[in-house]
Structure 1
Amino acid sequence: MPRLLTRLAAIFFAVGLFFTSQSLAAPQRAAAADPGYLMLHFTGEGSTGQQMYLSHSADGLHWNDLNDGAPILRSNIGTKGVRDPALVRSPAGDKYWIIATDLCWGCGSTVDGSINNGSRSIVVWESTDLVNWSQPWLLNVAGAIPDGRNAWAPEAIWNPATNDYVLYWATNVPLDGKTKHRIFYARTSDFRTITTPQTYIDRPGTQELIDTQIVEVPAGVGNYRYVRASGDGQITIEGSNSILGTWTNLGNLSGIGLTGAQVEGPMWMKFRDRNEWTLYLDQYASRGGYMPVTTANPSAVGTYQLPASGSFNLGVNKKRHGSILNLTAAEESRVLARWPSTPAKRLQSYNFQDRYVRHANYDVRIDQNVSTSPDSQFRIRPGLAGSGTVSFESVNFPGYFLRHANYDFQLVRNDGTAQFAADATFNQVAGLADATWSSFQSYNHPDRYIRHYAYQLRLDPTTTATARGDATFRVTN
């Protein structure tokens, strides 16, 4: 989470660190059969950047943006923006949650407003397979904190001692009239209800703390079962043998030239093929994006090393504060199949060639002057209901498809039902008015085609020359 306005001054004097350079070399896997890593993140300010993005890596150092760099989930609740997400997997691997800050800077929320009168809730999604996600809901985590002003950067970790999750986040509770973010926690088993919030980390005096993330360390590595990294003016490293027990300050990363005035958003990852961890840190002051700091013992501050120049690459999208999951083979297969490389396309009308199919307020029509609008961009996916068919997924509303209901078209979120799949599936055939173009025959009403009428998209028979022209489109970039 970007710091307060006073920290922005660091941008003007932060040095450009040599290790921000990034190689474009192809990813190298330690073993070809090993599954890789999944990073959940946001990309920046604005209503599009503050949504949910995924990136995949084979080796944990070279990352590729999934879904062609477009968001995979979009919040339609609260501030309608989400930042600082955490990806939580249940111990049994049968359920997943995304938890994120409910905040949209640059699209309605001001910096001061989000600090002193921001959302007290976080945004939550749930899944059973890592690719099909529920509708989001708001979980009020800070409303019961006296004078709590917001809820930022949520994280969660399974606690075997209590058989539930420790959910923790930052809330501003002013001290002597000045902003002071501290870390609070509550327990939860379902991310729908929580226990009464308690103070978790509170630095002395006016020192604030916003970002913290915990990693579990296996036996035999260092002296602590858990290590946490926190941005509190430094990147402070602490160790404990109990998530809710006493934590010992182990030092910070100033010895390798990193302070909280330079980096934030700590994000842990354990390499699968060796006893080595990386702590990804966001070089927010120099706007350099994330870089990996590596160690063979997270609790030994003196062992952390800066990356060699050219040793990592974060892909095209800028990666902002998120979390990394070590994938199983089954998870990786599902994720890569769900978000393959599928370029965005548009559908141009045959008989009104200055108009393209677009959605507006979930209604679908053909419009002019939409060549640069993401509302007119779709990914042509394999048909939801049958092989050899196609479905149209919105680029800027991922998970939403063109679907007919009562022969009218709307952009609708896929609910996973067979009826939805059938209504959103079409056979792509030679254009009814021009065989070099395309027409789209309904999967479950094969006597009807996608066509426009009075500029609105409909599903109609095509018994006239006008109707055949209306039902003919060019798939274009």
Structure 2
Amino acid sequence: MMNFLNKIKFLLCLLLLVSISANSQSLLKKDEVLLFSYFKGNGDGLHLAYSTDGYKWTALQNDKIFLKPTAGKDKLMRDPNIIRGHDGKFHMVWTVSWNEKGIGYATSADLINWSEQKYIPVMEHEPNARNTWAPEITYDPKTKLYMIYWATTITGLYPETQSKEDNGYNHRMYYVTTKDFKTFSPTKLLYEPGFNVIDANIVADGKEFIMFLKDETREPAQKNLKVAKAQNLTGPYTKAGPPITGKYWAEGPTGLKLGGKWIVYFDKYTEGKMGAVQSADLENWTDISDQMVFPKGMRHGTVFKVTRKEFEKLNQGQ
């Protein structure tokens, strides 16, 4: 009798596990796979990881470098941001240096073969600009324009939030728009939240645009992630809300809506590991870092979707 009951318990557990797995898979369309672009070390190049549920991430091709950086003087590739453009191609921007006044750009049809890397001098016109960090791209279907945005410190601006810590960096978010990544609008201020801000990631949600950002304030230390919203991609954005991350220091957010819930992945950089928080309403957040599996040594980047066919080709390196 006990033997029979144990078999029944085993079968029930098996059915439960299958149900949980099927539910995770259903969060994505049958033909979709999630990819995560990231870097390692100080900016060695483009790495890619994949996931079918948003929780377990596996490095592609034994964590090889898919693209080595050549743009800029320092030739780094930090914060790689990839989106699928309106033209069906993948467009990537990244940080080329700690202190240069431009960003890197390249495009690809398959994430394997890339165009020649280009240096876009988005802050070269500003003599007091110290850097251009963590550029990202968001497409606006209303205007049919891409917006490229990043964080820059311009020496002398916003003295009220200037700190002697963090080497005196005091960032605000700036942007340009483009239709073709060949010609660009003049650089403009995107977001001035009243504090040192970096690492913005903007995601469309219906008629709204959601900005996940890092409050970089050092004194007193914030170093956490917050949320702002806007009706238009170029703003104006609302006042940043309360922190959505915990007492640890966090940076490099990338947001994804999966199964009706938001997941924001980020870098717990002082702890040398990645993390994630989840919310159903963009207001109440739960840290789900202990539910995640990430490749060893992974640093922050971007989550995006590809088709199963694209993934299989990428995974085979063909």
* TM range, smaller chain: 0.7 to 0.9
Partner of 1:40: 37
Q: Distance in 2 between matches of 1:128 and 1:164?
A: 19
- Cα deviation 1:312-352 (Å, max 9, x = unaligned): 2002x32212101122233223322327xxxxxxxxxxxxx
Q: State the match for 2:77 in structure 1.
A: 82
Distance 2:71 2:238 in 1: 39
Q: Does 1:229 align with 2:226?
A: no
SS of the aligned residue for 1:171 comes to strand
* Ranges in structure 2 where 5+ consecutive residues have no aligned partner: 1-16, 163-167, 216-221
Match of 1:133 in 2: 114
Contact 2:277–2:289 at 8 Å: present in 1 too?
A: no
Q: Which residue of the other structure, out of 268, 286, 292, is the alignment partner of 1:312? A: 292
Identity among equivalent pairs (%): 26
Whole-angstrom distance in 2 between the partners of 1:152 and 1:290: 19
SS in 2 for 1:169: strand
Deviation per CA, 1:194-222, whole angstroms, max 9, x where unpaired? 11100111232xx311111011113xxxx
Poorly superposed stretches of 4+, deviation over 6 Å: none
Give the partner amino acid of 1:291: G
Shift of 1:231: 0.5
Which amino acid counterpart does residue 294 of structure 2 have in structure 1?
A: L
CA separation in 1, counterparts of 2:102 and 2:146? 17
Look up the match of 1:214: 202
| 1: CA distance, partners of 2:71 / 2:169 | 27
1:283 to 260, 268, 290: 268
Query: Any stretches of 5+ residues in structure 1 without a counterpart?
Result: 1-24, 104-113, 219-223, 340-477
- The reply to whether residue 332 of structure 1 matches residue 316 of structure 2 is no
| Cα-Cα RMSD | 2.3
Q: Relative CO higher for 1 or 2, CA cutoff 8 Å, sep ≥ 6?
A: 2
Larger Rg: 1
Cα distance in structure 2, aligned partners of 1:324 and 1:179: 27
Q: Secondary structure at the match of 2:287?
A: coil
Equivalent residue letter for 2:34: Y
Could you give the per-residue CA deviations for residues 276-307 of structure 1, whole angstroms, max 9, x where no partner exists? 220012111222x2112111233xx22x1111
Shift in Å, 1:61: 0.8
| Structure 1: distance between partners of 2:190 and 2:271 | 30
Q: State the distance in 1 between where 2:289 and 2:110 align.
A: 36
Give the distance between the partners of 1:331 and 1:270, measured in 2 at CA: 21
Aligned partner (choices 34, 49, 54) of residue 48 of structure 2: 54
User: Counterparts of 1:265 and 1:65 in 2: how far apart (Å)?
Assistant: 19
**Contact 1:236/1:249 (8 A) holds in 2:** no
Q: CA deviation at 1:64?
A: 0.8
> How many matched pairs?
279
> What is the rounded CA distance, in whole Å, between the counterparts of 1:145 and 1:196 in structure 2?
12
Whether 1:124 aligns to 2:105 is yes
Query: In the aligned structure 2, how far is the partner of 1:283 from the partner of 1:77?
Result: 27
Q: Distance in 1 between matches of 2:275 and 2:289?
A: 10
> What residue is the counterpart of 1:99 in the other structure?
93
> What are the equivalent positions in structure 2 for 1:296-311 lying under 5 Å apart?
296-298=280-282, 301-302=283-284, 304-307=285-288, 309=290, 311=291
Which deviates more from structure 2 when the two are superposed, residues 328-337 or residues 158-167? 328-337
Q: Which residue of 1 aligns with 2:242?
A: 252
Q: Which amino acid aligns with 2:140?
A: N
Specify whether residues 77 and 185 from structure 1 end up closer, same or farther in structure 2 by C-alpha distance, changes over 3 A only: closer
| SS, match of residue 125 in structure 1 | strand
